[in-house]
Amino acid sequence: MKLKANFDDLEQRFGVATTTTEDQTAILLAVAQEITPDHYAGTRPPQEAYEDAIKGEDLFAFRWKSSFFGNEEMYFKFALKGADKGRRAYICSIHEHHKKNV
């Protein structure tokens, strides 16, 4: 549900198509091409997921200025589960970075 809301927000905010699996895959591939280890914004060691499907897995969070999203600062978080050929990426969130009020 949370990820669907993220995609809906991206569609509304940036005008990118997010309805189909192909649309979402294209967005995720664009993100994967933009982020680097230098963009890692998570804790060390990484926090553990609490959602049932990935409970206990490490969460990897990235924050970067995205060309794909019009040079906006974006946030992307995922977890990896399984090993070898059974390893899967679980996308937890993708959205504009929420700047905290200080």
Express each pLDDT in 12-37 by its tens digit.
Answer: 999 999 999 999 999 999 999 999 99
Output the pTM of the full model: 0.92
Write out the residue range of the structural domain in which residue 63 sits: 2-96
Cis check: omega of the bond before 45, within 30 degrees of 0: yes
101, part of any domain: no
pLDDT value of residue 20: 96
Counting as low any pLDDT under 70, the low residues of the chain are 1, 101-102
Retrieve residue 53's tokens: 């499907």
Burial 39-49 (b: 16+ CB within 10 A, else e): beeeeeeeeeb
Q: In what order do the strands lie in the sheet with 72-81?
A: 59-66, 72-81, 88-96
**Which is nearest to 63 in space by CA: 28, 98, 24, 11?**
98
pLDDT value of residue 25: 96
pLDDT value of residue 100: 73
pLDDT value of residue 86: 95
**Which is nearest to 48 in space by CA: 63, 36, 59?**
59
pLDDT value of residue 99: 81
60, part of any domain: yes
pLDDT value of residue 1: 66
Number of domains in the chain: 1
68, part of any domain: yes
